[in-house]
Amino acid sequence: MTTQLPMYTPGQRVRVTQQVPRATGTLTTTIEGVIVRAGQSKTGSWFAHSRDKKLWLDRLELRKDDGEMVVVNLDHYSSVEAL
């Protein structure tokens, strides 16, 4: 990850809630863990007029209580709550 997101600090415990709108309601997922990394990463997708001509996504890398590592792509349907 290349750029630190200023509002998220490694070591901080958070709850991320994401929603996916569907034709018949909304799918909601919640993940809790400690931030290992926060920043922007480029995808393999091409996107005109962006840095390096790639699509950049805000991402959090979390370590869950059981040790599992999770990478969460943040979008306008994401809510991050400090715990």
Domain extent, residue 64, equals 13-82
> What is the per-residue pLDDT across 5-35, written as a single tens digit (0 to 9) for each?
668 899 999 999 999 888 999 999 999 999 9
Length of the chain equals: 83
Structural domain contains residue 61: yes
Structural domain contains residue 6: no
Total domains present in the chain: 1
* 19 close to 57: Cβ distance less than 8 angstroms: no
Q: Which residues contact 7 (CB under 8 A, 6 or more apart)?
A: 80
Residue among 29, 35, 17 at smallest CA distance from 81: 17
Structural domain contains residue 72: yes
How confident is the model at residue 78, as a pLDDT? 92
Structural domain contains residue 48: yes
Contacts 24+ apart (CB under 8 A), 45-50: none
Distance in angstroms (rounded) separating the CA atoms of residues 67 and 72? 15
